[in-house]
Structure 1
Amino acid sequence: MANTPSITEEISSNFSPTKSSTIVEVSPKLPLPTKFSIMQEDKAKRSREISINDDIPPSNLQKLNIDTVAELVGTYFLIFAGCGAALVNKVQTLTIVGIALVWGLVLMAAIYALGHISGAHFNPAVTLALAAARKFSWKLVPMYLLAQLLGATLASLTLRALFHDQGNIQATMTQYKDSTSDLEAITWEFIITFILMFNICAVATDHRANKHLTGVAIGATVLFNVIIAGPITGASMNPARSLGPAVVSGVYKNLWVFIIAPILGAMAATLVYSILRVPKPGKLEENTQSMYNELYIHPEV
């Protein structure tokens, strides 16, 4: 027991000068080495500032301008391809099935291309019906309608210039024969627009629906509507689609049918679907929501 070191001696021996050689002293005055140089750190700081600025959302006016341009471009694509197919049919027979395929496919493509920007309405009847159902802001309606009508008119002007050898573009117009009464034409346009808008409400504005196939479902709806009603009324379903060619060709016969019937059909569809709609759990439904992009919300302007 006499040779056993005490606890005090053991602790002092651990910190004796002979064993302290393993301890490395670091002067607090010496700067720690950095991974990046000063220039690299400055460049990284600037890139962080740029990324922060990129995250700043556009103003309400900028957003409205972007949406308006998207609606104009999308409506232009729709009318150019769809009405263009009717003019091509006079050169090379496409049949009603071929024309219907063009209408359905171009709408599907436009939805996927521009739906996340403006909601991809491309149709005054759709815009008015969504606003009436409080799924879209009324403040945005005038600019959307103007963009859609302008897009349809510009597309019709382009087609007249490209198919000048045909003399006119009356083949692109939505007309019905004298054997078809005004009431029958209104009924046809009301029903096919109702079907279109009902499907839009189901696949694009309902949180329970699968949004990935929205464009396919709506494009297919237009396709079979054109096959069924195209030979009878031209299957407008869209006031802009009828107004654009009418303005360019200067023929306004029965145009009121293709303005009133689609609007009434679209509004009736939103009213009927509202009965089937279930509020999203945990959240109140937004009253300025659009379509085709999981109810893209438009800010109030």
Structure 2
Amino acid sequence: MTSHGEGIEDEQISRIENGIATDCHGGIETVICTSPSIICLMQKLIAELIGTYFIMFSGCGVVVVNVLYGGTVTFPGICLTWGLIVMVMIYSVGHISGAHFNPAVTISFAVFRRFPWSQVPSYICAQLAGSLLASLTLKIMFKITPEAYFGTIPTDSNVRALVSEIIISFLLMFVISGVATDNRAKIDFIVKSTPINVDY
């Protein structure tokens, strides 16, 4: 026998899977978006594009600056930049799009029935567009030659590098899924797009 709360949760999950939404942002009415779902989806895609753009622009940009200008930023500075820009973008647009910023996160949410599969291709396209625009911006801003390659090259075999990436990606998805999709987690605004009420 299920409780009333569990019944409501099952109904909400069913509506998410079918792409049905009764409102745009968890009951918050805004001037731009009131009820049409297509407008809400467009706002989410723009938020994903902007968030991904600034994450890639800042994260990759700090690597570019570090390589071009003699390691002035240092490795801890690069790590700090990536962490801070992700946090800033989650707080900035997380209430609109859910702050995925990564196709792996979008797919994971869909697998765990917290995101409609019908919106997955749109989200992935917005994320790819944001990252490509950020890369293009950096290419225009800095004099980047083929010799000045900023990517990471495996120091061992490609198979070991691939296995390492799979393990690290699994860890990332494991943490995000545990924190953002579990109803007992405190930060459920990332998935449910509900506002945080702060009493001053």
In the superposition, the TM-score normalised over structure 1's length comes to: 0.50
Q: In the superposition, relative to structure 1, how do residues 55 and 98 fare at CA in structure 2: closer, same or farther (>3 Å)?
A: closer
| Alignment gaps of 5+ in structure 2 | 1-28, 195-200
Is the contact between residue 68 and residue 118 of structure 1 (CA under 8 Å) also seen in structure 2? yes
What is the aligned partner in structure 2 of residue 61 from structure 1? 38
User: Which of residues 60, 74, 81 in structure 1 aligns to 2:58?
Assistant: 81
The alpha-carbon deviation at position 169 of structure 1 amounts to 8.7
Aligned to 1:210: 186
Determine helix, strand or coil for the equivalent of 1:293.
Answer: helix
Q: Distance in 2 between matches of 1:63 and 1:140?
A: 12
State how 1:1-301 maps to structure 2 within 5 Å. 57-90=34-67, 91-93=69-71, 94-164=73-143, 166-168=144-146, 171-177=149-155, 180-211=156-187, 292-293=189-190, 295-296=192-193
Inter-CA distance 168–80: structure 2 relative to 1 (3 Å threshold): farther
CA 1:103–1:202: 2 relative to 1, 3 Å = same
- Distance, in Å, in 2 between the alignment partners of 1:181 and 1:154 is 31
Task: Output the amino acid matched with 1:128.
Answer: I
Identity percentage of aligned residues = 44
Q: How many residues align?
A: 164
Matched letter for residue 105 of structure 2: V
CA RMSD between the two structures: 2.4
Q: Which has the larger radius of gyration?
A: 1
Where structure 1 has 5 or more consecutive residues not aligned to the other structure, the ranges are: 1-51, 212-290
Alpha carbons of 1:207 and 1:181: their partners in 2 closer, same or farther (altered >3 Å)? Answer: same
1:137 corresponds to which letter in structure 2?
Answer: P
Is the CA contact 1:87–1:169 (under 8 Å) kept in the aligned structure 2? no
State the 4+ residue runs in structure 1 displaced beyond 6 angstroms.
none
Structure 2 Cα separation of the partners of residues 197 and 134 of structure 1: 14
Paired residues of 1:159 and 1:169 also in contact (CA < 8 A): no
Going from structure 1 to structure 2, the CA distance change for 1:56 and 1:136 (only over 3 Å counts) comes to closer
CA contact (8 A) 2:63 2:78 kept: yes
Q: Cα deviations across residues 110-159 of structure 1 (Å, max 9, x unaligned)?
A: 11111100000010111112112211101101110100001000000000
Return the offset for 1:292.
4.7
Identify if the C-alpha distance between structure 1 residues 56 and 76 changes in structure 2 by more than 3 Å, giving closer, same or farther: closer
Deviation at 1:174, TM superposition (A): 4.1
- 1:119–1:56: structure 2 CA closer, same or farther, 3 Å change rule? closer
